[in-house]
Amino acid sequence: MENEDMGNLFEEWNKGELASYLIEITAKILKKKDDQGQDGYVVDYILDKTGMKGTGRWTVQEAAEQSVAAPTIAGALDS
């Protein structure tokens, strides 16, 4: 499915039971074309990775101290 099609689908969802701010902005983001000189859509240039600032590691350490599972955050640190 192309970005424009996904954006249209989210717009439709936002007219019904799923209407919310997150659905609304997702539709807008998916349909936003790059205006920085590259072809395509902005979402295509967003990298699927995180940087290391220490907050993720701190969160996992604090979760462990509080006996709270945080496997998703811990997994993101490993990648």
Tokens representing 33 are: 């074309």
In degrees, rounded to 5, the angle at the alpha carbon of residue 15 between the alpha carbons of residues 10 and 27 is 25
What integer pLDDT is reported at residue 76 of this predicted model? 84
The pLDDT assigned to 50 comes to 65
pLDDT for res 38: 81
- pLDDT, tens digit, for every residue of 25-73? 999 999 999 988 888 899 998 887 766 778 888 999 999 999 999 999 8
Mean pLDDT of 2-12: 96
pLDDT reading at 79 higher than 70: no
The pTM of the whole model exceeds 0.75: no
